[in-house]
Structure 1
Amino acid sequence: MLATLTKNEPNYIATFNRHYLHSIDEVWAMLTDNDKLPTWFPELKVDDLRKGGRILFDMGNGTFEEMTITDFHDQSVLEFTWADDSVRFELTSEPEGCKLFLIETITKLTDHTPRDLAGWHVCLDVIGMLLDGKQVENRKQMWEPLYEKYVQAINDLTK
């Protein structure tokens, strides 16, 4: 399911909604454990897991972008800066697993926005696949059709 895109002056909000047949503990570990993070987002590393702490993004050239953790509640909320935007993960328990919301607040739509949205979409799908014990064959093949759908979704939003 594609993210829901809305305009919330002056920003845009992308909300991803996933249900995983796994416990909050398992999903939280995927988001915050530096042994598990690289399995779905190799560039991310938690440097200091607390409100006011840091997540590092490996730029691939020996430098790291520091992202500040702006909200944190163990096992339920992780929010951090993402350039001029913010990314927020929220977890809630359900009878059969847990629900994850990823909410990205986007300050300005750019040509890169649909790339990021398709990337987050794939990341969330990969988390589910890995938790289910499945192999991820080709992320790019998963990403390409989603990118086109997010380009269209943004075009529809801005008409």
Structure 2
Amino acid sequence: MIAELIKKESGAIARYERQWKYSVQEVWAWLTENDKLSNWFSELQIEELSEGGAIIFQMPDGTSDKLTITELKIYSVLEFTWWENRMRFELSPESGGCRLVLTETLKEITDHTSKDLAGWHMCLEVILALLNGRTIESRAKEWKIWYEKYIHAVQEFTSEKTAD
């Protein structure tokens, strides 16, 4: 399911919602334990899991950026800066598993937004595959499929926004 784009006074929110048959604790581990995190987002590493703590993003050129954890509630909320944007994972228990809501608060829609949205979509697909004990054969191929869908979704969203 594609992310829902929600208008804000300035910018937007991209909201992904998933119901998974896994416990909050199992999913939380994939979001916060570096040995698991590296399997779905190899550039990220949690330096300190606490409010005000840091997540390190390793750039392809060998440099790194620090992202700040802005809210943390164990097994419930992990929110951190994503440069000028903000990422938020929320987990809640449900019968037979949990609900995961990922939101990205976007300061503005740019030419890069569709790529990022497809990337986060793929992150969720990869986490679920890993939870299911499998891998996605070609992440790049899958990403490209979702990227095309997000190009259209962002175009539609921005044309609606300008019509308002």
The residue aligned with 1:120 is 120
Structure 2 CA distance, aligned partners of 1:51 and 1:44?
17
The residue aligned with 2:41 is 41
Where does the alignment leave 5 or more consecutive residues of structure 2 unmatched?
160-164
Question: What is the SS of the residue equivalent to 1:122?
Answer: helix
Structure 2 CA distance, aligned partners of 1:136 and 1:150?
20
Q: Normalising to structure 1: TM-score of the pair?
A: 0.98
Structure 1 CA distance, aligned partners of 2:158 and 2:112?
15
Q: How many residues align?
A: 159
Q: Which runs of at least 4 in structure 1 moved beyond 6 Å after TM superposition? A: none
Q: Normalising to structure 2: TM-score of the pair?
A: 0.95
The residue aligned with 1:146 is 146
Using the TM superposition, give the Cα deviation of residue 60 of structure 1 relative to its aligned residue in structure 2, in angstroms: 2.1
Where does the alignment leave 5 or more consecutive residues of structure 1 unmatched?
none
Structure 2 CA distance, aligned partners of 1:142 and 1:96?
28
Structure 2 CA distance, aligned partners of 1:113 and 1:157?
12
| 1:33-92 superposed Cα distances (whole Å, 9 cap, x missing partner) | 001001110000000101110001000222111000011101100000001000000000
Answer 1 or 2: which has greater helix percent. Answer: 2
Structure 1 CA distance, aligned partners of 2:105 and 2:113?
11
Using the TM superposition, give the Cα deviation of residue 145 of structure 1 relative to its aligned residue in structure 2, in angstroms: 1.2
The residue aligned with 1:82 is 82
The residue aligned with 1:29 is 29
1:134 aligns with 2:134: yes
Identity of aligned residues (%): 49
Superposed CA RMSD in Å reads: 0.7
